[in-house]
Structure 1
Amino acid sequence: MDTPDAAPDIAGALNWARARIAVVDARVLLRHVLQCSAARLAAYPEARLDEREWAEFRSLIERREAGEPVAYLIGEREFYGRPFMVGPAVLIPRPDTELLIELALAHFGDKPRTRILDLGTGSGALAVTLALELPDADVTAVDRSREALLVAMANAARLKASVSFVLGDWFSQLGGDRYQLIVANPPYVAAGDPHLGEGDVRFEPGTALAAGPQGLDDLAAIAAQAPRHLEPGGWLFMEHGYDQAAAVRGLLTDAGFSSITSWKDLGGIERVSGGQWLGRGEPR
């Protein structure tokens, strides 16, 4: 469909856009431009865009057509029912990562003053959500990217969550601090995986995605170092790739964890593995 010369109405704008991108994406982008609800978009298809709105919408459609993620285009993504600001410095939160929240609540929802560590916090989705869902918890979030920490801090301020932020590489800046719960959604894609050059992933930070030839480098580092930062009885939960559960369980076994388990995501794939540190012997 040719681009209309004059600013069209809502129905015309969506008809033009759906020839270029998925209609669901077009609706999200038009709602963003018009700052309106989905109900208003559906109720007033004859409402006409002004020239500024039409120019902004066309620009967003062209950028989406070139592959830019919708979340980056509108600057946010929902996670656990809350809007999180996102940008090219951080990964876009995925629904499957909410499994880490569910596991944390299942294990610590009835325990007061839990000390929680979120490794590689990115947008802060995990740390901020845990701080809000467990208001008595003491939550610390770590990331090696200063730019990512600024995004996470902005999200904590926006959502009024109490989180301590640390700039550092995994445990390197934590000294002898210990926690009852460590959660991590680290890089776990193999460095040569062709998916790194496809879809939305092309626009996300590569350092937050790839981790060595098998994608296990960061998972291995966290599993090996976590016992030094867990209280006896504490838990470590790590998100990983669709085919890495067995390997991660092996890493946890080698590190001396007990009660090692993998849990399935919304698609029935083993997505999170974890174990309990009982404090027996010296961490390896």
Structure 2
Amino acid sequence: MSRTDDNGDGAEHTVTWRELLAETRGLLDDDTHARWICETATGSSPTEFAALHDQAATERAVARLDAMVARARSGEPIQYVLGSWGFRHLDLAIDDRVLIPRPETELVAETAIELAAASGPIRRVADLGTGSGAIGLAMADELPHEGTTVWITDASSDALDVARANLAGLGRSAVNVVVRQGSWTDALTDGSSFDVVVSNPPYVAEASPDIESLVSEWEPSTALFSGSDGLDDIRRLVRDVPRRLRPGGWLVLEHGHDQGDAVRSLMEGAGLSEVETRRDLAGHDRMTLGRRPSRLFASRTGSAPVPDAVVGVRCLENTVSDYAHLLQWLATPEVLEWYEGRDKTFDLADVLAEYGPDGEHERDGTIPAIIELDGDPIGYIQLYELDDPDDAAGFDLDDGRGIWSFDLYLGRPDLFGQGIGRTVCRATAEYLLAVRGARDVVIVPHVENSRAIAAYRGAGFVGDHVVHEHEMHEGVMRDALRLHYRPTV
């Protein structure tokens, strides 16, 4: 349709945006979509566009408007026509290479953000199958800038091109984002562990009668359909993601309204704990989350003064609470006397460097863990295999492969001498033999630490081999006594 005409006196009349808006409303029969398209054609906000109503339209803007109206009238989703769509606090560029971000997925992102925010001061999260980058970039945008790393991955190079375009507009938080191509966990190439892994995977059954034609005709099928029951990709994620979670880490999956029971069953079958399905604002099952258990083992004390209490050992979790306990215990002279030395001081940076994400223990395979008494943290224990030749030599062993050891302390001096250490030692040795497949379990307390040696012997450890100058402690190279677990009953 012509945008200029002769007004009868030989002069041309230039069309205004008020007239174009009215014309667009008539063509689309949708007031909201018409306004959005006009705003996009002018590159203006709603407030700015209102001020343009009586201004003449440029030829270039009219051509852009005509093209968008034609696309909308052909049935193309309005989100693709506009070329961008809001998601939480972000304005995302989108086109038919990626799914249209939906309000239901905003709730999934909110859950992932809340869980990640509850992690320690250093956190790593991943959005697998990121598409436009919606969930992952929202996490990068809303989580603390310091200490956060967000991985966004997709098997589709086209989708990652869109995600990278959106990443470019993220601002300073963009430096926290890692982009990788690959199918699900295959994209997590460096062996990193994560505090939260979230995904909005394909979950529509191939023959589903519920999917709208507008969706199936325009949005990428590879991001929609997943086998005969819609669960093929979810099955793979539930199978593979837990091994990439830190102890206590979360898997969060969006799924169909009728898939909650099935996804909960899959997560529980994979050994995840605290499995829960949450609903969207319409009251439909929309996401299921589960946590990697941190519990390693538990035992009961058998004598006074704490008879029949449950002594448990769980992996150290990446939480402020666990680090705070370590800081408290590592400032206790009665602990440091035999553990690190009373000449040592620790701050949060020291604790994170040794025990936290990407810290010394995570890199060398040591399992840092918390000792609990009836659920309350009371001490620390670390388990490790002597498979490194230097570690074996430090124990006067020629070959440490298959031989495990551990170090522990109770952080509360009021619990010393009550049999708790003995219970932990015996339960730890049994766990290492039964679950970790250890061929032997050895420990090396300082020879002067008579209280610890008595506890170890009471737990079933025997031996009299002295490892000379085992380690530096309070400025002196200390001898240690190597004991082997040899229970009599």
Aligned partner of 1:143: which letter? Answer: D
8 Å contact kept, 1:120–1:141: yes
**TM-score, length-scaled by structure 1:** 0.91
Q: Distance in 2 between matches of 1:44 and 1:232?
A: 56
- Shift of residue 182, structure 1, vs aligned partner: 0.6
Other-structure match for 1:77:
85
- Shift of residue 67, structure 1, vs aligned partner: 1.4
Other-structure match for 2:206:
191
Other-structure match for 1:94:
102
Q: Distance in 2 between matches of 1:193 and 1:14?
A: 39
Other-structure match for 2:21:
14
**TM-score, length-scaled by structure 2:** 0.54
Aligned partner of 1:137: which letter? Answer: T
Q: Does 1:36 align with 2:50?
A: no
Q: Does 1:157 align with 2:176?
A: no
Q: Larger RCO: Structure 1 or Structure 2 (Cα < 8 Å, ≥ 6 residues apart)?
A: 1
8 Å contact kept, 1:195–1:201: no
8 Å contact kept, 1:8–1:54: no
Gaps of 5+ in 1: none
Which deviations, in whole Å up to 9, do the C-alpha atoms of 1:56-97 show, x marking residues without a partner? Answer: 212211111111122222321111111111122111211211
Other-structure match for 2:264:
249
Q: Distance in 1 between matches of 2:209 and 2:21?
A: 33
Q: Which moved more, 1:79-88 or 1:4-13?
A: 4-13
Match among 68, 73, 87 for residue 76 of structure 2: 68
Q: Secondary structure at the match of 2:241?
A: helix
Q: Does 1:225 align with 2:236?
A: no
Aligned partner of 2:140: which letter? Answer: A
Other-structure match for 1:167:
181
Indicate how the Cα distance of structure 1 residues 29 and 200 shifts in structure 2: closer, same or farther if over 3 A, else same.
farther
8 Å contact kept, 1:191–1:213: yes
Structure index of larger Rg: 2
Q: Does 1:127 align with 2:136?
A: yes
Other-structure match for 1:26:
34
Q: Which moved more, 1:6-15 or 1:248-257?
A: 6-15
Gaps of 5+ in 2: 5-13, 297-434, 436-489
Q: Distance in 2 between matches of 1:139 and 1:42?
A: 39
- Shift of residue 216, structure 1, vs aligned partner: 1.0
- Shift of residue 44, structure 1, vs aligned partner: 4.5
Matched pairs, number: 280
Q: Which moved more, 1:113-122 or 1:187-196?
A: 187-196
8 Å contact kept, 2:116–2:125: no
Aligned partner of 1:149: which letter? Answer: L
* Identity across matched positions, percent: 36
Match among 217, 221, 241 for residue 202 of structure 1: 217
- Shift of residue 153, structure 1, vs aligned partner: 1.8
Other-structure match for 2:425:
none
Note the 1:99-110 alignment, pairs <5 A.
99-110=107-118
Q: Distance in 1 between matches of 2:16 and 2:92?
A: 30
